[in-house]
Structures are given as C-alpha cells and as structure tokens.
Amino acid sequence: MRRQNKAGGVTSAGSGRALRLDPHRLPVRYTAADELADGRARVIEIDREQVLLHRSVNGVRMRFRIPMEVFRGVAVRVLDGNDSEVAITLEHPDPALTVALHRAEGIEDSAAEWQSWGRVLGLPLLIEDVDGTLRSPVEMIGALMTGEVALRRRRKTPLRKRRPYFLARRRGFGPGIAPAVHRGEREIIAPE
C-alpha cells in the first residue's frame, strides 16, 4: 500500500518499493535522490504545465520552474545491467534536470504507464537505444505520425450500390412527361 502525502503525491512505503506516480492525479509532489544536494534529496512537483524542483546545495536553497515545453519527451529506459527493471523518465536536454516518473520490473506494465504519461503531458514518446541515444518509436513529422498508408476498407453492404439520396432528389423531368405548351391562344394580358 502506498502512502499519500499532503500535496497529493505518492511516496513509496518501504525501501523495496518501486516508484510509481499516477499521471491522472496531477499535481504530484514527491522526494527523489540527488547526489549533489544537501541531504542527498530534492523535492519534485509535477503539474500539466510545469515541473518544480526544490533543492538545497551548500546551504543555498534553489527552486527551478521548468515549463513542460522544454522537456524532450517521456522516455523508457532499461536500467543498468538488469533487463527486467525499467524506468520511465521525463527527459530534459540537461541530464541533471531529468525527472523519474515510474520505476518497476517488467516492461509489460511499464508500456501502459509510458503511453499514459505521454498522453497526459502532451509530450512525444521516446525509447533508449542500445548505445544510449533517445529516439522516437515511430517516424514523425512534427505531431504527425508517418508510415505506410493503410488501404481503404471496402464496404460490404448492399447499400454501397445504391445512389445517394441527394442525387435521387435532383432528377429532372423524364422523357414521358412533356411540359404543357398552348399554341394559338390569345394572351390574357395584352401589351400596351
């Protein structure tokens, strides 16, 4: 069972628990390890628009406000030497500002979390290659996914052979109906 702190974040109960934050319960506030900070910890607040990092280095208190647009995306990484342990991170161009979102064993559960974080934060999904570089799992042009064109499905219904209703209404006079023409009669209204 995980414990909730006052700001609505999730703190792991026990040292053997994996980090798991819920993307649908933002804002989230939690404490993470930081080697350079006093007390070796920093406080992270994640919102839909920004990330706040609170830490203290050599007695100097700092607070970083990072807009969500600055982050490169939500990345999934296999942790060092352990193929079964996976981490989902919010990737920043500066590795010191990268934020961990989820850490667990098994890639099956992590894939759903990874997609959920990307959808909620509106950031692209990234995968770590064997050499450590990050890439998108699908080819994209801006926010548009590219790939092979899917063939159009043919309708298998008897209605596909019918004419559309609006064309049926536009039919003119058929050859059997001729307009009435009165020849040789005097006009009722005479010209002056």
Residue 61: pLDDT band (50, 70, 90) is: very high
- What pLDDT is attached to residue 19? 75
pLDDT in tens, 100-123: 898 887 777 788 888 888 889 988
Q: Tell how far CA 53 is from the center of its chain.
A: 23
> Considering all CA atoms of the chain, what is the largest pairwise distance in Å, rounded to the nearest integer?
113
Count, residues in the chain = 192
- What pLDDT is attached to residue 85? 82
Query: Looking at the predicted structure, is the pLDDT value of residue 70 above 70?
Result: yes
- What pLDDT is attached to residue 15? 41
Q: Which domains occur in the chain, in start order?
A: 3-142 (2.30.29)
The reported pTM is 0.60
- Bridge partners (DSSP) of residue 90 are 74, 99
- % of the chain with per-residue pLDDT over 70: 63
109-133 in b/e burial notation, b at 16+ Cβ within 10 A? ebeebbebbbebbebbbbbbeeeee
